[in-house]
Amino acid sequence: MPFESAEFLLFLLVTLTAFWALQRSRPAQKLLLIAASAWIYGSYRWEFVGLLALSIAGNHLVAGLIDRRAGLPRHRWLAFGVAANLVALAWFKYSGFFAETLNDASFALGLGAGLPIPQVVLPIGISFYTFQTIAYLIEVRRGSGPKAKTLGDFALFVSFFPQLLIGPICRGRDLLPQIEKPAPARIEKLPLAISLILSGLFKRMVLASLLFDLGVSDIFQVPENYTAAALWMAMFGYTAQIYCDFSGYVDLMRGCALLFGFEIPDNFNNPYSAASVGDYWRRWHMTFSRWLRDFIYYPLGGSRCRRRRALLNLFATMVFCGLWHGATWGYVVWGALHGAALVSHKYRLDVRRARGEDVKRRLTAMAWLRGWSWTLLVASASRVFFVCSDLRVAGTFLVRMCTPGLHGAGFPLLLLPLTLAGFGLNFVGDAVRARFVRGSEALPLGLRWAFWLAMFYLLLAVRPLGVLPNTYFRF
């Protein structure tokens, strides 16, 4: 069920009405949200609901065994729970990739017949809710996060539909206290919720969909048919498109969550305004970046060891990040490129600190411009491997992009202002949203709703006929 569809709007209105009608019974509200989330998830494929329910029941049981401190040592229960989650994820997401890789190696060595390729359907959201439950188990073991008091609370923590399909990856401390507290008396941040919903619809339904309709993604599949200028524009256009797609979805879901009285974490903090690759990763997909830091980078030793080992830890973490996105070598190369850029960034910071420089000093305008340009180029050029169907196509794209004068198709002129608009949101979007909220709060109630409806219909009027498929659903 697309979240920009009339079907979802009807679902949301019915669920909201029922939720607030059950205001006197918090358990009934929770059961309603669990059932509604299962309905949303099942609308993609009902078999996925059974797998999700199995994951919820199994992780709740393991968390109880970890917390009970009886029987097997706690670290063994944790190891069992993490391993079970990773095995399930590996089967659904990576079994085909590993079989193909082994077959390629077998044929390269002249060993003949290879393994059969499993035909497995990837459940939507499995990468996100698997990492969410792994973080939950680890934090219960460490005592750094709360444990759900009931199976129902844990089921809602995992399955709550605004964060189930593609995040944010919530920690126990983000959501469980809100689930366990009494029902709110009213929607406390309604203007903010509406502003987030409208922001999400504008980003996804208008900007990202227009970029998609202009064929930005298609150019990556046949780069040999386009000029160098068209490839450069496609590269930057897709960079704007994926931001509007993903951050727009997060805005929309954060707004929906507020309508039910829940605040879920933001996932984006204007990443294309970053002036370094390190700052970019503190702003892009923030809940996943923190997950990588806390559960991959720090356990490897982080930066507490020798410089060479710390840089290797950083690089390995980003290769893992690439592999998490998908079972292709393109994603691995994408992660490795970001790893190399982060290693270079950290090395230069370490050298400057050793010289006694203040690395937190405010940048000059020229230094910021150089850093911003390099960061945007790294983020955009690495996406060639992220989008192209294989490494050969990615190589063709990069070679033609750097070879001016080749014959081929150009790009639609509308692509340039749409791309600039996508980037511009990283500089003015927060200010516009704040003014929208303040302006809405200053209006009388009736006029406020009329203004919100007018903005909604305006978005419907300027949107293209179709909405692009959500990129992160395949992760």
What are the residue numbers of the active site? Answer: 325
CA angle, 131 then 136 then 141, to 5°: 130
Query: Across the chain, which distance is largest between two alpha carbons, in Å?
Result: 77
- Six token digits for residue 57: 């029941």
Q: Are 135 and 169 in contact (CB under 8 A)?
A: yes
Question: From CA 145, how far away is CA 418, in angstroms rounded?
Answer: 42
What's the first-to-final CA gap in the chain, in angstroms? 17
**What CA–CA distance (Å, rounded) separates 63 from 209?**
42
Specify the DSSP class assigned to residue 358.
-
Q: Buried b / exposed e across 221-238, counting CB within 10 Å, b at 16+?
A: eebeebbbebbbbbbbbb
Please name the residues in contact with 362: beta carbons below 8 A apart, sequence gap of 6 or more. Answer: none
Measure Cα distances from 118 to 27, 65, 91 in Å: 42, 34, 9
**Cα torsion at 366, 369, 371, 376 (round to 10°)?**
-170
384 close to 398: Cβ distance less than 8 angstroms: yes
DSSP assigned state of 465: S
CA neighbor of 14 nearest in space, from 204, 205, 254, 260: 260
Burial 72-110 (b: 16+ CB within 10 A, else e): eebeebbeebbebbeebbeebbbbbbeeeeebeeeeeee
Bond from prior residue into 146 cis (ω within 30 degrees of 0): no
CA–CA separation, 71 and 65 (whole Å): 8
DSSP symbol at 359: T
Q: How far apart are CA 36 and CA 246, in angstroms?
A: 23
Other CB atoms within a 10 A radius of the CB of residue 441 amount to 11
CA atoms of 231 and 217, how far apart (whole Å): 11
